[in-house]
Amino acid sequence: MNQEPTITFHGAAGTVTGSCMELQYDGESVLIDCGLFQGPRTLEALNREPFAFDARKVRAVILTHAHIDHSGLLPKLIADGYGGPIFATPQTRDLLYYMLPDAGRIQEGEAERRNRRLDRKDEQAVEPIYTEADSKAAYEQVVPVALNDWFAPAAGFRARLWNAGHILGSASVEIEVGGTRLLFSGDLGPDHKAFHADPEGPAGLDHVFCESTYGDRIREDVTIEQRRTLLEAEIKAALTRGGNLVIPVFALERTQELLLDIATLINTGRLAHPQVFIDSPLATRATEIFARHAAELEDMGSGEIFRHPSFHYTSSAMESMRLNEISGAIIMAASGMCEAGRIRHHLRHNLARRESTILFVGFQSAGSLGRTILDGAHRVRIGGHDVAVRAQIRRIDTYSAHGDQQDLQRWIKARRPIEGSLFLSHGEAGSIETFRRLLQADGDIASIVTPKIGETFSLPSRMPAKRLKTGNVDLQAAVSRDWQNDYADFSTRLKKELQAIESAAARREALARMAEVLRSYQSSRQKRKARSG
């Protein structure tokens, strides 16, 4: 049996999604989160890999919040035989009632759409990672726990939840096990965020696990009122151009923040009554949960917010498609990184229109379609179609539900003394490294660890963590830039470059040379494998 607790990182290490940490002690295993990898195909493929642990032997799951990159593999866990409790705040449980079944329907729908694609007709059929039925079964295992109440997730473990200020119901997780005191930040909100109180937590810990999504970024310090002024300017400029203002949104929290601000701008006479379409059934249901918990939320102001007469919630696919026929409207659709959902449909119909505007208001993971557009791509691939990017591409960076570098730094300082190690996870490699150097220069924390997927560490009391196992190199490679995005970038440029060659014969010669390079590369790889084998 373990003499001291150990932690293994199964996701969100060197990448922002797929949060899942396994804490073990004395034969007992507890998961903190069990999230879906989101982003390009190479990263999403990790969701199909078998769990690196036996789901039947896990005693409990403690969920920090309802976002799918933290909760989205719970249905797969249940399908693999997990039968224990999933501890979460009551608000998170309310959100999961809609979010988990929606995730199951997305998995089934995505598998069906991919199997229908003509460019995949000679490939093996894709099975959904899990089903809507698996998702409903997962929800039934959620056990609500109030903030600051101690509970026992497994023998020898004691835990309680602290407000993380990230989204409705979000929490940090404090755990005492084997004489060691741990704190898992979950995702942390910025100070003075709409709806929620500032993040909290205990001090004087052995080991702290902190997210680093914006560890390399300092956002302009703006008030909620200043943020509304920025949004007002973007809306007026976009609608003056005559096209639609398309906003990729996360169904949970970002949608509701935007609705709060747009409603306030209308209610105070700063905006006329634009037509605002919320084209996401999940965002609609999440907004209903926010309305139910409105008395617990801050900064709600006065006047109608979530049921404002300018807001139109679309439900059916037919209603969504009818939006193709309009101009001069605000269309908010999920997903926020443009990797799935109805936003891809609206991008196909608006990206090529010079009078339209695409406004990004959330984090865009490396390799995602949203990041590709934001980084200045001239053409993108959506659902098997090449789409020209002619629309105005805009960004407001003040809506993040994540704390920036300074917010994270303040949160960590408030947890001192940290007598063991500080782990920096849930961030891209560059963000984590920048943040690590900043904290190391402060000199307040002796041991700062930047874990990789698959690595295991021991967690002694009042001593730095020790790495016990290195991670999986193939899994770690999957969190870097996706080769399929490199291919998409190359293929969109290829036709133009071939057309620039002076004759058809020369173009055929160029294609033949490229084919020969590929054959030569494959041959040399096979020879290297044979020698090494």
The string of pLDDT tens digits covering residues 168-203 is 999 999 999 999 999 999 999 998 888 999 999 999
In 299-309, which positions are buried (b, 16+ CB within 10 angstroms) versus exposed (e)?
ebeeeebbebe
Q: Find the DSSP H helices in 268-342.
A: 281-292, 317-322
Its sign, for the CA torsion 278, 280, 285, 286, is negative
Strand pairing report for 28-32 and 60-62: parallel
Q: Are 166 and 191 in contact (CB under 8 A)?
A: no
**Considering only CA atoms, which of 338, 343, 339 is closest in space to residue 320?**
343
Instruction: Give the pLDDT of residue 478.
Output: 61
Amino acid at the residue 130: Y
Instruction: Give the pLDDT of residue 1.
Output: 47
Q: Are 88 and 142 in contact (CB under 8 A)?
A: yes
What is the C-alpha separation between 7 and 25, in angstroms, rounded? 9
Q: Which residue has the tokens 């949004």?
A: 231
Query: How many Cβ atoms sit within 10 Å of the Cβ of residue 95?
Result: 28
pTM given for the model? 0.84
- pLDDT tens string, the chain, 533 residues long: the values are 458 999 999 999 989 999 999 999 999 999 999 999 987 777 888 999 999 999 999 999 999 999 999 999 999 999 999 999 999 999 999 999 999 999 999 899 888 888 887 666 778 888 999 999 999 999 999 999 999 999 999 999 999 999 999 999 999 999 999 999 999 999 999 988 889 999 999 999 999 999 999 999 998 888 899 999 999 999 999 999 999 999 999 999 999 999 999 999 999 999 999 999 999 999 999 999 999 999 999 988 888 899 999 999 998 999 999 999 999 999 999 988 898 889 999 999 999 999 999 999 988 877 789 999 999 999 998 887 889 999 999 999 888 889 999 999 999 999 999 999 999 999 999 999 999 999 999 888 989 999 999 999 999 999 999 999 998 766 666 665 555 556 666 776 787 788 889 898 999 899 999 989 988 988 888 888 777 65
DSSP sequence for 499-517: HTSS-HHHHHHHHHHHHHH
Instruction: Give the pLDDT of residue 477.
Output: 62
What is the C-alpha separation between 389 and 376, in angstroms, rounded? 9
The string of pLDDT tens digits covering residues 141-157 is 999 999 999 999 999 99
Domains of the chain, by residue range, sit at: 6-218+401-478, 224-395
Q: Cα–Cα distances in Å, from 182 out to 1, 22, 27, 255?
A: 20, 13, 18, 33
CATH number of 224-395: 3.40.50.10890
What is the C-alpha separation between 85 and 134, in angstroms, rounded? 15
Beta bridge partners of 358: 246, 393
Query: How many Cβ atoms sit within 10 Å of the Cβ of residue 217?
Result: 16
At the fourth CATH level, the homologous superfamily of domain 6-218+401-478 is Ribonuclease Z/Hydroxyacylglutathione hydrolase-like (3.60.15.10)
Q: Are 88 and 153 in contact (CB under 8 A)?
A: no
Its sign, for the CA torsion 451, 454, 455, 456, is positive
Q: Which residue has the tokens 């799918």?
A: 68
**Considering only CA atoms, which of 311, 337, 335, 288 is closest in space to residue 95?**
288
CA atoms lying within 13 Å on the CB side of residue 158: 8
Phi–psi pair at 82, nearest 5 degrees: -70, 130
